[in-house]
Amino acid sequence: MDLSIIIPLYNEAESLPELKAWIDRSLKDFSYEIIFVDDGSTDGSWEVIREMADKNVRGIRFRRNYGKSAALYEGFAAARGEIVVTMDADLQDSPEEIPEMVRMIREEGYDLMSGWKQHRKDNALTKNLPSKLYNWTARKVTGIKLHDMNCGLKAYKADVVKNIEVYGEMHRYIPYLAKNAGFDKIGEKRVHHQKRKYGSSKFGLDRFVHGFLDLMSLWFLSRFGGKPMHFFGTSGILMFLVGFVMTVWIIVAKLVHQAQGIKFRAVTDQPLFYLALMAVVLGVMLFLAGFLGEMVSRSSATRNDYQIKERL
């Protein structure tokens, strides 16, 4: 089978028949399956999926709403195609972009091809401007030069989706997850973006706050997940040294003033002393956190779980 089209959805009953017909028109030259993942819809979306089900259409239904990452995780696990495509169910992503994305993967050797909604048909204040800031931050942190990291329209080699784990709200950073798994040939294609035809967006402005926090988590885990002592131990030692130097400075200053008969303040009367004490304590705590993290990491069952590309 050439393609697996994975479509996570939540309350998109009106869009689904039109979306399926659009996919059928756009992919006549491919063998493909469509996997609708119903993320706990309450508007009859599942009944629509059940009516469309045939040899090319499958469905997965959650008992409740778990989020897009969970839907993609199950979709990736169920996919059987050589290339896996993800797209949203709201008719804003065009299936007509898929053949060219597939060609770029097959002929140009990309592991992942991400869409770039260069001209978004969303509200400029609530969607466009925050999205530009979010993507600028993501490029700086991840080192991946994508203009639209969070675009729902993406195409992947099957190996990519079978070797990454999407959880929490990490669907925004699948290119970064892929890069960390060793799939570093990541491309981008400008795609046509359409105005939403039915319903309303299921995501609010809070997704940008959550997205930034998730990005920091991923960055930390990719850099220090297997070596926590490198971060906490280094930070702890530096903090301890700062506190120690401050303490020595206070004591030496007091002794010098005392020897010269100059009026001096008691060490415990100086705010700097308590800052130094706090720095020493924090340094020790950070070092211990790194040590405990290292022990946990070394006890992990996946500590030697490496991505092997091929064997001879």
Q: What is the mean pLDDT of residues 104-132?
A: 79
Out of 64-68, 219-223, 307-311, pick the least confident.
307-311
- The predicted pLDDT at position 48 comes to 95
> Per residue in 238-268, pLDDT tens?
999 999 999 888 888 888 887 887 777 777 7
CA distance 109 to 302: 30
- In a 3-state reduction of DSSP, which class is residue 222? helix
- The predicted pLDDT at position 213 comes to 77
- The predicted pLDDT at position 293 comes to 81
Q: Is the pLDDT reported for residue 148 higher than 90?
A: no
Query: Which residue ranges make up each domain of the chain?
Result: 3-224, 228-299
> Per residue in 18-50, pLDDT tens?
999 999 999 999 999 999 999 999 999 999 999
Separation of first and last alpha carbons in the chain: 27
- The predicted pLDDT at position 312 comes to 62
Phi, psi of 42 (to 5 degrees): -120, 10
Residue that wins the pLDDT comparison between 208 and 86? 86
Name residues whose C-beta falls within 8 Å of residue 234's C-beta, 6 or more positions apart in sequence.
Answer: none
Q: What is the pTM of this model?
A: 0.75
- The predicted pLDDT at position 310 comes to 64
Name residues whose C-beta falls within 8 Å of residue 30's C-beta, 6 or more positions apart in sequence.
Answer: 2, 3, 99, 102
User: Encoding tokens for residue 227?
Assistant: 């070596």
Options 3.90.550.10, 3.40.980.20, 3.40.1350.10, 3.40.630.10; CATH of 3-224? 3.90.550.10
Q: Is the pLDDT reported for residue 95 higher than 90?
A: yes
> Per residue in 1-26, pLDDT tens?
899 999 999 999 999 999 999 999 99
